[in-house]
Amino acid sequence: TGDNIASWEHMWLANIQCQRLSISGVSFTGSDVGGFIDQPTGELFARWLALAGFHPFMRVHSSGDHGEQEPWSFGDRFTALARRFIELRYELLPALYTAFWQYATRGTPMLRPLVYLDQDDPETYQRMAEFSLGDHLLVCPITQADAEGRWLYLPTGQWYYWYTNEVKEGQQEIWADAGLDRIPLFVRAGAVVPTWPVRQHSAAGPPADGVTLHVYWKSGTETTELYEDAGEGYAYAENAESCLKTLTVNGTERELICRQTTAGAYCAPHTAVRLVLHGLPFAPSALVVDGATYEIAAGGPAEATIPATFREVRVTGAG
């Protein structure tokens, strides 16, 4: 987005610029985190880094003429916050990578303003702060000092708050609590959000274990795409060296079904996934994967470890 200034105004501007570049066909975009000119406060740096974690291109960059601007340059508190936001990005790499694939193969914008998501809702025409990364992650950065949250607008549907699993109805303005350790982040109901264990660099490649699928209950049906390949090289251009998984969630008041279909012969190194079920309106009594019954972990969200190649997961409630 060009050389910017270490100010809240320019962070606000970076959010809008990246959205507009994305829907104009240039999704691989980002800003100089913290500002290229002048030096940010620790608070501004942390908020900007949180936003950049959801941009396709993430880089801390400055002229070097105004003091240190590394993630550890603002004291222990802000170093911990920087680590938190960077690690969140790395945990969400599978979703980010899938959004890159959608952009590269279909031209679908990676960053999608609200008006792109719901053109039938006139309220979205005036909204600039909120955007989605890919199909199911909704982000709204905080671009003011000393804020403990912000008002934002949710588009059509139901949305889970990432940190609490609280469900909010769309087509309304809501308040999101978000101290300095949070960026307002919501997940579309019915989505499947894949996460990896924290990586030190993306070239480490797909992990052999620790992969999690977060499934968010919805009354009705929702579909999620998950693209996988080796993470480097050009073999992905051959269908045998890539894989597109389609995960379809269907929920009722007494049941959740998640089906997985696969196109392409690439096999990721992990053989099992941790399945975490969010927002079930019933107490699960049985979890059946391709005809085999699995134990559901007690306490917190219902979860189980299942084969990565599952075709159908069926979770039912008692009664």
> What pLDDT score was predicted for residue 205?
82
Percentage of the chain modeled with pLDDT above 90? 84
Q: Where are the alpha helices (DSSP H) in 171-316?
A: none
Instruction: Quote the pLDDT of residue 239.
Output: 67
| Choice between 11 and 64, residue whose per-residue pLDDT is larger | 11
pLDDT value at position 63? 74
DSSP bridge partners of 195: 212
CATH superfamily of 192-317: Golgi alpha-mannosidase II (2.60.40.1180)
Q: What is the pLDDT of residues 123-149, one digit of tens each?
A: 999 999 999 999 999 999 999 999 999
The 10s digit of each residue's pLDDT in 220-266 is 999 999 999 998 888 888 767 899 999 999 999 999 999 999 999 89
Instruction: Judge if 113-188 and 192-317 fold alike in CATH terms.
Output: yes
Residues in CB range of 243: below 8 A, 6 or more apart: 227, 228, 229, 262, 263, 264, 265, 266, 267, 268
Q: Please report which confidence band the pLDDT of residue 319 belongs to, taking 50, 70 and 90 as the band edges.
A: low
pLDDT given at position 91: 97
List the chain domain ranges: 8-110, 113-188, 192-317
* 113-188: CATH, from 2.60.40.1180, 1.10.645.10, 3.40.50.720, 2.40.160.20: 2.60.40.1180
d(CA 266, CA 279): 32
Query: Global pTM?
Result: 0.95
